[in-house]
Amino acid sequence: MFTGIVTDIGEVVDVHARADNLRRLEIACHYDRAGIADGASIACNGVCLTVVAAGVEGNRTWFLVDAAAETLAVTTAGSWCHGTWLNLERALKVGDELGGHIVAGHVDGIAELVARDDLDHMARLAFRAPPQFSRFIAAKGSVALDGVSLTVNEAEGDRFAVLIIPHTLEVTTFGALRAGDAVNLEVDLMARYTARLIEKA
């Protein structure tokens, strides 16, 4: 489990196919190598991936993860290439502060940035969600976009908007987002379970 609070920005430094529906990615970061164990979970742009190896090169730590067919089909991982920047978050440990909201790292689908308004040190981003997931998105509710926990400011139909504060623009990849870009969307778990309970009532 994660909280949607980004703790580093990683860079994809190598991608190669291991099979038709399997890619191995090498991601460089600034995490302490000693804190990354084989088998650990790291959210990469909101996608929970398992570390299969790690090491140090120069002044950066690197780790390897595999992205399989479902991940490549449902998330933006299929378009990651050398030089792609990723929001990173390591899995929660017992006693960690829950600063955002509960995020599973299981991406539901891809949302498209349809408009960006740059304000005084902030940005208002409007997205289009896949129609089947828009019912889980509500004003004042939570979403995770590329692994970042955000509060929804507006929601209507399949569109919703979030306001990005200066700190988030500085410590995530959101500063570089432009209209037309795709982001990984994970809807709030509570919204999903509530909808399921209502369906069964």
Domain 8-90: assigned CATH number? 2.40.30.20
Angle, CA of 11, 181 and 170, to the nearest 5°: 50
Structure tokens at 79: 């378009």
3 labelled catalytic = no
According to CATH, where is 2.40.30.20 located in the chain? 8-90, 109-200
43 labelled catalytic = no
According to the model, what pLDDT value does residue 93 have?
Answer: 81
According to the model, what pLDDT value does residue 200 have?
Answer: 66
pTM over 0.75: yes
Indicate which residue of 50, 53, 79, 139 is catalytic.
Answer: 50
What does the alpha-carbon distance between residue 123 and residue 167 come to, in Å, rounded to a whole number?
Answer: 11
According to the model, what pLDDT value does residue 72 have?
Answer: 95
48 labelled catalytic = yes
In CATH, the architecture of 109-200 is Beta Barrel (2.40)
Residue range 67-78, pLDDT digits in tens: 999 999 999 999
82 labelled catalytic = no
2 labelled catalytic = yes
